[in-house]
Structure 1
């Protein structure tokens, strides 16, 4: 079984970026916390999330970024992105489900991503997704919002 060093992947994923579409806020207005957790399903089908540093191929890992507004005013029109770490494949599961996907980190579209092949529109495989983006219309003063995506260790 192939193992993966999650410190390396978490560092890559921590490159998650934030764009304030309204630039009137200070750089320290937003705090981000990133976690990587193994997704485990018990016999009853209930999911649990366990902190993880390494895992064998085939393990489902959820990357979750929590963004906290640290100022006493609302932040409007916030776009946040999470890259899909190297040696990982996106499963198609994102929370909130309103995430947009990208295969190049520049152009985003609603999922599933599509492309034309031989004159027909076909779904782009999740293995080609590189980044997800969420648009948060309003993050109230001193409140938090979380986004997450699930991956499988290659």
Structure 2
């Protein structure tokens, strides 16, 4: 799990750098700083969720990845696309915040969740096991403010 987490962080850092290419208001390459936190979701006896920073996790446990994007410049940024890949050893649960997330099964084409495809002429939902990444469009991020996105996964 620790090796997978390090590989995932490397992918996310690359994703953050790529995301800066979508800026319209600000063109500074270092305008957006991303911090990633992985937490294990543990349900208490009363059903309330408790979030514990992950040092290791086992098969079947739920892990939430939360990315905080901070605008580090003194001007607003608009229409920033940020992406979180879903690690190969995990399955997206269908829970993401904000709910405006789009998903991909091929890493190129994104659509609103739930993803739908035609099978024998009928529209059917794409299994969550096929989701590869989620993307959000941050419409407006004021100077020196932050935006959070998150997705929940289950370890396979």
TM-score under structure 2 length normalisation? 0.90
Aligned residues: 151
What is the alpha-carbon root mean square deviation over aligned residues? 1.5
Query: Is 2:125 the counterpart of 1:123?
Result: yes
- 5+ residue gaps in structure 2? none
Which residue matches 2:45?
43
Counterpart secondary structure, 1:16: helix
> Does structure 1 retain, via aligned residues, the 8 Å contact 2:35–2:68?
yes
Q: Which moved more, 1:108-117 or 1:6-15?
A: 6-15
Which residue matches 1:71?
73
Which residue matches 1:60?
62
Q: What are the residue-to-residue correspondences of 1:88-99 with 2, within 5 Å?
A: 88-99=90-101
Which residue matches 1:146?
148
Higher share of residues assigned helix: 2
Q: CA deviation at 1:47?
A: 1.1
Distance 1:69 1:98, change over 3 A: same
Counterpart secondary structure, 1:22: coil
Q: CA deviation at 1:41?
A: 1.1
Distance 1:148 1:28 in 2: 22
Q: What are the residue-to-residue correspondences of 1:18-29 with 2, within 5 Å?
A: 18-19=19-20, 20-22=22-24, 24-29=26-31
Distance 2:62 2:53 in 1: 12
> Does structure 2 retain, via aligned residues, the 8 Å contact 1:31–1:70?
yes
> Does structure 1 retain, via aligned residues, the 8 Å contact 2:25–2:76?
no
Distance 1:35 1:15 in 2: 16
2:84 is aligned, of 72, 78, 82, to 82
Q: CA deviation at 1:64?
A: 0.6
